[in-house]
Structures are given as C-alpha cells and as structure tokens.
Amino acid sequence: MSVSSACHAITEQLPRALGAHDINALQAVAAKFFATVHLWFPIISEESLYARLPSVYVEPRAEFSLLLLSMALIIWIPPDNEEEPITPLYPLVKTSLALAEADGNSTLESVQARSLVALFEIGHGLEDQAFVSLGALERAASMLQAVGGLDGEEGLSVWWAVVILDRYRQVHSLWPFCTLELMMFVFVI
C-alpha cells in the first residue's frame, strides 16, 4: 500500500467507523467530546475544530480524520456487561496511526490524536500499550516541536498533555518516563 493510498484509507474509515456519511454524526462526536473530555483534557481548540468540520468530506485530510476518529474513541463508554471492554474502533485507530506515521508528516492533529489514544489506553488499564503509545507520542511531539509545530496555546496544551500523561502512567506502572528527552529538548531550545 502506498503512502497516498494509506492516507486515503484513513479518510475513508471515518464515515464507516462512525456509521454516518453526513456532518451531523461528526458534530455529535465533537459536541460530546467538548462537553466531557475537553473539560479536563483541553488539547483541541473547539473553535478551530468546528471551523474545519464542514470540509471533512469535501477536502478530506488523513490527520483530521484521525483526530475525529480518536475523539470518537475517547468518548466511547463500554457496556456494563462486557468482559473485554474494548471497542472495535481501538484497533482501527491504532492501525490508522501507523498508516499516518508511514506518511512521515507529524502534524498537530496527529499528535493530538496520539494523545487521545494514549489517554484511552491509560483509562482502560492498557499499561503496556500506553507505554509504547507514549513513546511514539513523545517522539512525534519532539519532531513537531523541532519545526515549530507546537507553537501557540493549542501546541502548548498538547505538550503539557504529553508530559502529564507520561507522569500519570509512570506512577501506576514500572515502566520509566518517556518524556525526559522531550523535557530536555523543549527547555534547551
């Protein structure tokens, strides 16, 4: 699969995964995200996201589709009767992250998406997966910081989210910090 077809595959997953081909389903995901997760994990500009939402089907972008899929993942609530409380959306988003990574472009949206996936993993007790995700998240954030992609309030919020997620995960596991290099990199520059 070529990189361009991989990115196309990500944008095509959005309507399939959410079961809708119109903007209303995406607006519902965004509304639920901003009414819940965003209140205590504010890494996405609500105004900016809603401004870009109408173009999602007209001018699809893999990174934005991945961010929306990650938002849908983090607001998912497992049914009470499930023994294995993981949604099929989780492996889809993880696979899509790998496809986006193959593209080689680290964007603010892809780092935000990675942050939401790491938060999902931590929240669902997937410690080993969270450790790996946080390592990849830290590298993507470092790469983005090197080219000025974490500037502004939204970028700073994402940077702190990476550090906080790593610190929280480390307190609850035996794995070492992932973000020590990120802390040194940011404070050296």
Mean pLDDT by 10 residues, the chain (189 residues): 64 75 86 96 95 86 91 90 78 90 82 95 87 86 79 85 79 57 47
CA distance 172 to 118: 14
pLDDT of residue 109: 93
CA distance 80 to 29: 21
pLDDT of residue 180: 52
pLDDT of residue 5: 67
Ramachandran angles phi, psi of 11, nearest 5°: -65, -30
pLDDT of residue 187: 46
Q: If DSSP codes are grouped into helix, strand and coil, which group holds residue 102? A: helix
pLDDT of residue 18: 77
pLDDT of residue 44: 96
CA distance 112 to 107: 9
pTM score over 0.75: yes
Residue in 30, 18, 35 with CA at minimum distance from that of residue 54 = 30
pLDDT of residue 90: 94
Question: Residue holding tokens 């119109």?
Answer: 22
